[in-house]
A and B are shown apart, each in its own frame.
Chain A
Amino acid sequence: MSYIEIRNIFKIFGPDPQSALELAKGGADKDEILAKTGHTVGLHDVSLSIEQGETFVVMGLSGSGKSTLIRHLNRLIDPTAGEVSFGGEDILAMDIPTLNAFRRKRLGMVFQRFGLLPHRNVMDNVAYGLEIQGTARKEREAAASKWIERVGLAGYEAKYPDQLSGGMQQRVGLARALATDPEVLLMDEAFSALDPLIRSDMQDELMKLQAELHKTIVFITHDLDEALKIGDRIAILKDGKLVQVGRPEEIVLKPADDYVQAFTRDVNRSRVLRAKSIMEPITSGESQAAREDWPSIAANARLADILPVALANGTSMTVRDAKDTAIGTLSPQQIVDALVG
């Protein structure tokens, strides 16, 4: 069993969700249920398994139910039907004090519009989670200082949120979520409100942090490029239903339906695809297929990094795994085909 298990979640908004639930379980879609009962279906039979230590991205347009989904993980929203468990622990069965203890110790959340406390300075915002836990001032300020420095805001401890730029405010949001050392980081469109350049910086920063911390991250976004860049795995939601779950390359190379395909059309494939997924594999019988004078490339290299090598040599290339064994070949034509799709 995976670390986070979401099973058959339905969320229906309206005065009498149970009445609409039967329709939804019977297979009626969102528009039909709205027309018949006046209830809005937020999530329709969503099941997901999220592994410990992975960055799991949920992607969807507005109204797809992605923000509703992430709020089920810390029960800011309760489902109409379904199960949510962390490490085998059923969180829907928790009473309020247990739930609060669970939120304090094991979860951190980052919000789209930051959700900072406007009446507290950077230090007190970052220390907020620890303060809620009842940690002594000295101890929590030491921990907060560490994280403020880690996100590059040293010197800003006494500033208030409205004195900071959007990017800096979200660094505070990130430091606040990390200060309690949670197992799981929930990020709800965390970078969507930022300028493109700053957004890209923050994505890099998050990936750098994650390489050290190995948290379980659930990241919500409407931006497929962002999803492909930071996600180990991606789930695509449409109208409250799960359309596809897979690694970035699977999403791009094997879109489950026209909806996903439409998304992936404008993706910069050279940044997503890796040598391994488009090469011609060498089967044990034909080890001579790769020639000595061909340049070597790593199996995990992205096409964007391989292209200069291919252009400089003009020949095919040998793809080697981490142990330096030749596992495949890649010709310029294969690269072009993969890029054009």
Chain B
Amino acid sequence: MFPEQLNVPLGKWVNQFVDWLVVNYGAAFEAFADSLLTVLVALEQVLRGAPWWVVLIAIAAIAWHASKNWKLVIGLVVAMFAIGTLGLWDKAMQTLALMIVATSLSVLIGIPVGIAMAMSNRLRAVMLPILDTMQTMPSFVYLIPALMLFGLGKVPAILATVIYAAPPVMRLTDLGIRLVDQEVLEASRSFGASRKQILFGVQLPLALPNIMAGINQTTMMSISMVVIASMIGARGLGEQVLMGIQRLDVGAGMEAGVAIVLLAVVFDRIGQAYGKRSQRSHDAEDS
């Protein structure tokens, strides 16, 4: 037996910290939660309120804009249609709304952090282990403090998702900027470009393929996390999976699983198509 005197009460400390946060900053958290919820609810209403075929047309349009490939567009529309035929359209729209908000928030936070990491070796040295931790920590663990701070519902689900899904876009933004050819950077400096002109005119455009790959990974991870987050009251497809487990209804769980995979495939293909486009933007214009 390991001597009990040597036990470190990490759990107790974390509890105290979360309590302290709730007591001192409860109001601020609530205000933040409310504004996030407003955005989410509005988006959800639009997605669930719109006729199914309007959503299909919108997805087809986005897929076409990304890929200019009819086969892909048809494939993705069929996948979305299949979700409807499983009777899970409404739940899929709830999941979609959660995913869009969580991904947007991840990207909004992740790209600036990634840029800062590329600019400062010290920040990068601090961030990398934090990102490793964020990604390896079992995702359920995030649910607990999120619950404490925001209670049951969609907002903690989104926050847990952001923590889990933001690392790839941070990593790949950092990597993409660091991979930009040194001579191109030197050239731009030699013409007297300011740091801002170099960042927006050279580094970000050239890092775009990597950043797009990061956004794609972030999207995929947020889909998987949004499903897990249904355990704390986020609605959607995950709820259906959870119900399948509780009632030992293998069929219902399977249907929801298939719908989640289809949704993931649709967004993965759209994300990849945008990634490819950013890589060879001029080939398309040329031919």
Contacts and interface: CB of A to CB of B under 8 A. Distances in A.
B202 A117 contact: yes
Given A121-B282, A160-B282, A163-B286, A115 B194 contact: no
A42 interface: no
B279 to A, nearest CB: 10
Interface in A93-125: 99-105, 107-109, 111-119, 121
A89 to B, nearest CB: 15
A317 interface: no
A212 B233 CA distance: 77
Interface in B181-238: 181, 183-184, 186-194, 197, 201-202, 205-206
Contacts of B45: none
Label chain B's interface by main secondary structure.
helix
B281 interface: yes
A163 to B, nearest CB: 7
B187 A102 contact: no
A160 B284 CA distance: 12
A128 interface: yes
A180 interface: yes
Given A117-B202, A121-B282, A160-B282, A129 B183 contact: no
A164 to B, nearest CB: 12
A100 B194 contact: yes
Nearest to A179: B191
Nearest to B189: A76
A74 interface: yes
A119 B206 CA distance: 7
Contact of B192 (A104, A112, A159): A104
Contacts of A101: 192
A121 B197 CA distance: 18
B184 A118 contact: yes
Contacts of B183: 111-115
A310 to B, nearest CB: 47
B112 to A, nearest CB: 21
A306 interface: no
Nearest to A106: B192
Nearest to B190: A109
Contact of A115 (B184, B192, B193, B206): B184
A24 to B, nearest CB: 26
B282 A129 contact: no
A186 interface: yes
Contact of B191 (A116, A118, A159, A180): A180
Contacts of B184: 115-118
A104 B191 CA distance: 5
Contacts of A121: 282
B205 A119 contact: yes
Given A111-B186, A115-B186, A118-B184, A129 B206 contact: no
A201 B124 CA distance: 47
B190 to A, nearest CB: 4
A115 B205 contact: no
A11 to B, nearest CB: 16
B233 to A, nearest CB: 45
A132 interface: yes
B187 A132 contact: no
A117 B184 CA distance: 6
A100 B193 contact: yes
B42 to A, nearest CB: 36
Contacts of B197: 132
28 contacts: A76-B190, A100-B192, A102-B192, A103-B190, A103-B192, A107-B192, A109-B190, A109-B191, A111-B183, A111-B186, A113-B183, A115-B181, A115-B183, A115-B186, A117-B184, A117-B187, A118-B181, A119-B205, A119-B206, A119-B282, A121-B282, A128-B188, A129-B191, A132-B191, A132-B192, A133-B192, A158-B286, A160-B286
Interface of B: 181, 183-184, 186-194, 197, 201-202, 205-206, 281-282, 286
By Cβ-Cβ distance, the 6 closest A-B pairs, closest first, are A115-B187, A103-B192, A104-B192, A109-B190, A100-B192, A115-B183
